Structure 1
Amino acid sequence: MGRIDVFVAPRPNLALINLMTIVNRVVMLRGVPGFRDLLPFNRLAGLRGVSNVRHIDFPAADRQRLQACCGAGQATFITPNHPEFFTDWMIDKEVVSRVSPLAASWATHGVVNGLGRLMQKFWLANNLIAQIPGNTDAAKAHSVDWALKGHGVLLHPEGAVGWHSNYIGPLLPGAVEMGLEALKRGRETDKNFKAWVAPVVWKLAFTGNVERALAKEYAYVEKSLKIEGAANGSLPERVYRIYSDLLSRDEQAFGLAAEHGASYAVRQQRVLAELGDRLAEAIATDDGLDLAELQRRSRRWLRENKVDADKQKRVRKLTETIQRIQRVGPWAFANQTITQEEIAEHLKRIRNDYCKGTLRDTINRFIPQPAGPRCAHIRVPEPLGLHTYEGSADEALAELRSRMQEAVTRIVTELEAAGGFISYPNPFYHR
């Protein structure tokens, strides 16, 4: 035990899991009543609630829908969206505590295995499954075994956090693949065995106006990144200016001429196209590949070509730069207005991707602090029954993503109708 790249099977301890459910609910999410709104106690994350999620909106019908596909005679893979780091596990834990307390959850090996032997034992007792990059066979096999016992297995099909809660990104196939394997094995002894992929989505909304707190955090980011003049203007204009200046730095770093007067979307696509061409040339692969396929080939190239250190460095830099620039996706340009929640997501993404080197930035990357109290709106779209689904695995993924996106859009529409968002003109908007 203790080796970061070695899979160790979880050893769930129900008593510890139940205790941590209470700790999670009070310390990590809601805070301590009587202290969470009282100065100076509300400045302490543990009393205020580290994730500052004061309210949980999880309708009984949604909870029952998820609970119905957990239990004996069925294998269930629970797939939440992944809009925010740290808060993700806190909300996921709250969800599974209500429907399947012994559900296992996938987590990065850096958390499960990388914090020392004692913490590894703690996480394994909390039923966390370590995801070992490039070597997930053992984790998948354990997940199928656990799911066959009637306990859920939770994993994020979007992969890494994107900080875009209104948009469901492309899904990874792991949950569907494991679900099909569990179905195959379950049917060997029970012809009526069922296997589900059960999507869950949640959307966080501030309970009040947090413009002052956002402005304070933006001032820190602007100073940290040495962005001059960005403090003048509205919050959306400031975040646009930050991203525009950061893109200019990438243009300069790669010797690209700036296109003055062009929108961020146009400039971004031009830079990505140029860097994609350079990456394809560097790894001697086909021209015209989409960036997703090109990045897959570049990661494989980096694993297989370790002789030329300079070329390795150049390919890695191109790959990482493309990934970073792509983090502002098409969803950012789609709407004419932008909410405080979306502004906060831009801010957290910038801090995660660009603000590094200080203890404050490191802590923020692992435990990002919200600008104010929030409500988590949790919904459960119709689970996908693999035992009745006749399409391919790719079609199942597309269907799953469609159900998740529809549920997220429905939450946003309902909150907008109720006046739940504070919005501004979106400077990123591009027809």
Structure 2
Amino acid sequence: FFTDWMIDKEIVSQVSPLAASWATHGVVNGLGRIMQKFWLANNLIAQIPGNSGAAKEHSIAWALKGHGVLLHPEGGVGWHANVVGSLLPGAVEMGFEALKRGRATDQDCRIWIAPVVWKLAFTKNVEPALAQECAYVEKSLKIERRAADTLPERIHHVYATLLSRDEIACGMAPDERASYAARQTQLLLELSRRLGEGISFDPGANEIAELLRRSRRWLRENTGDAERQKQVRTLADTIQRLQRVGPWASVNSRITQEEIAEHLKRVRNDYCKGTLRDTINRFVPQPAGPRCAHIRVPEPLGLHAFRGSIDDALAELHSRMQAAVTTSVAELEAAGGFIFYQNPFYHR
């Protein structure tokens, strides 16, 4: 969050100094009244799950005044910098609504969505620092280090151990001969089946996103049964946490130091909790070394000239963003900007 916001502020200070920015309500409202006052003074908008009407109205009105509105279209930080995740529809929905209102008084009103992407790359070899952080994760999660393991293998062992714990908690016997991806898929299917039973919804093999959406709605509408609330919330949270290691993790046979760092940050954010150090790290995670942000601005999408649906616009934005990220990564690799290792998550 902190790194993204600092880069955001650097960009908007140059091109749109009065831009409003969206952030999770836990950041805007969850750090006390003094910090809330600071965030609001910086025109930070609180995204409140299930109650975003006021935030959307403010954003549309602000855009119609000629200012920018900044959103993180993936929603949260996933630590998969080479892959653009699924985009949330908020920016497109608000853009079309702003266009509708603007055209009511000005037929020449134009609304743009300007995507911005960046790739963070270390400027030197940071393996010692990554190994030190990995040791902290192993100790914090009580995972024994295997002496012969390389740094990537240590991280894979951490994730495999955590997956085994989830399998055992679910009543499944871990199959250590199977790949991480195969075991993860089987566990997700079983957890999805149980969550579906809990909220009376039959999820298909590729409907986990819809299942999670319905579970959030179920939790809002069924507050009277504390025990079922706990069961549904635990299942939904576990599914979301497991999904954060996506298929992209096992696609390539090589892994970079940047990707190793992302695995470490993700596991610290998702599993290492309960101490002040871990709480601070979730808001201001420290990089393993100095990095350079390679910032790219794909072609903006003019909604005033776009004839497709909201889904069509999201698909077009995703395509432009992914192409920009892929090009940046290829350029950096060609220039020798990465240090590579064998990827233990790789699954042909």
Taking the aligned partners of 2:35 and 2:153, their CA distance within structure 1 comes to 43
Deviation at 1:118, TM superposition (A): 2.9
Q: Which moved more, 1:337-346 or 1:231-240?
A: 231-240
**Counterpart in 1 of 2:171?**
255
Which of 180, 188, 194 lines up with 1:278 in the alignment?
A: 194
Give, as a single letter, the amino acid of the residue that structure 2 aligns with 1:185.
Answer: R
Do the aligned partners of 1:384 and 1:400 also contact (CA within 8 Å) in 2?
yes
Normalised by the length of structure 1, the TM-score is: 0.79
Q: Secondary structure at the match of 2:305?
A: coil
Distance in 2, matches of 1:319 and 1:109, equals 20
Mark the CA change 1:176 to 1:144 in structure 2 (over 3 Å): closer, same or farther.
Answer: same
Give the letter for the 1:99 counterpart. V
Partner of 2:341: 424
For residue 160 of structure 1, give the secondary structure of its aligned residue in structure 2: coil
Q: Which has the higher contact order (CA 8 A, sep 6+)?
A: 2
Distance 1:310 1:117, change over 3 A: closer
Match of 1:408 among 322, 325, 341: 325
Decide whether aligned partners of structure 1 residues 335 and 306 sit closer, same or farther in structure 2, where only a CA change above 3 A counts.
Answer: same
Q: Secondary structure at the match of 1:394?
A: helix
Question: Which residue of structure 2 aligns with residue 302 of structure 1?
Answer: 219
How many angstroms apart in 2 are the aligned matches of 1:181 and 1:230?
A: 56
Cα distance in structure 1, aligned partners of 2:29 and 2:315: 33
SS of the counterpart of 2:293?
A: strand
Q: Is the 8 A contact 1:227 1:242 kept in 2?
A: yes
- Report the structure, 1 or 2, having the larger helix content: 2
Tell me: CA distance 1:221–1:288, structure 2 relative to 1, closer, same or farther (3 Å).
Answer: same
Task: State the identity %.
Answer: 75
Distance 2:194 2:176 in 1: 23
Write the mapping of 1:153-302 to structure 2, written as runs, cut at 5 A: 153-230=69-146, 232-288=148-204, 290-302=207-219
Q: Indicate yes or no: 2:36 matched with 1:152.
A: no
Is residue 320 of structure 2 the alignment partner of residue 394 of structure 1? no
Contact 2:203-2:211 within 8 A present in 1 as well: no
**Could you list the runs of 5+ residues in structure 1 that have no partner in the other structure?**
1-84
Distance of 1:242 and 1:162 partners within structure 2: 18
Q: What SS does the aligned partner of 1:194 have?
A: coil
2:264 counterpart of 1:319: no
Paired residues of 1:232 and 1:238 also in contact (CA < 8 A)? no
- In structure 2, distance between residues paired with 1:287 and 1:377: 40
- In the alignment, what sits opposite 1:330? 247
Deviation at 1:287, TM superposition (A): 4.2
Alpha-carbon distance in 1 for matches of 2:56, 2:203: 35
CA deviations over 1:203-223 (Å, ceiling 9, x no partner)? 100000000000011011101
**More displaced stretch, 122-131 vs 197-206:** 122-131
**Residues 231, 238 of structure 1: 8 Å contact kept:** no
Contact 2:152 2:341 in 1 (8 A): yes
Q: Is 1:106 matched with 2:22?
A: yes
Q: Displacement of 1:232 after TM fit?
A: 3.6
The partner residue of 1:364 within 281, 289, 308 is: 281
Per-residue Cα deviation, 1:162-198 (whole angstroms, up to 9, x for no partner): 0111111001100001100111111122211100111
- With 125-134 and 243-252 compared, the bigger mean Cα shift is at 125-134
| 2:14 paired with 1:123 | no
Runs of 4+ with deviation above 3 angstroms: none
Runs (5+) with no aligned partner, structure 2: none
C-alpha distance in structure 1 between counterparts of 2:267 and 2:147, whole Å = 16
Report Cα offsets for 1:282-337 as digits up to 9, x if no partner.
21212426111111111111111222222211111111111111110011011111
**C-alpha contact 1:144 1:182 (8 A) present in aligned 2:** yes
How far, CA to CA, are the matches of 1:114 and 1:237 in structure 2? 37
Give the whole-Å Cα distance in 1 for the aligned partners of 2:21 and 2:67.
11
The answer (yes or no) to whether the contact 2:87–2:314 under 8 Å persists in 1 is: yes
Amino acid at match of 1:295: L
Distance 1:117 1:353 in 2: 26
| Alpha-carbon shift at residue 133 of structure 1 (Å) | 1.8
C-alpha RMSD of matched pairs (Å): 1.1
Hey, what does 1:16 align to over in structure 2?
A: none
Between Structure 1 and Structure 2, how many residues are aligned? 347
3-state SS of paired residue (1:204)? strand
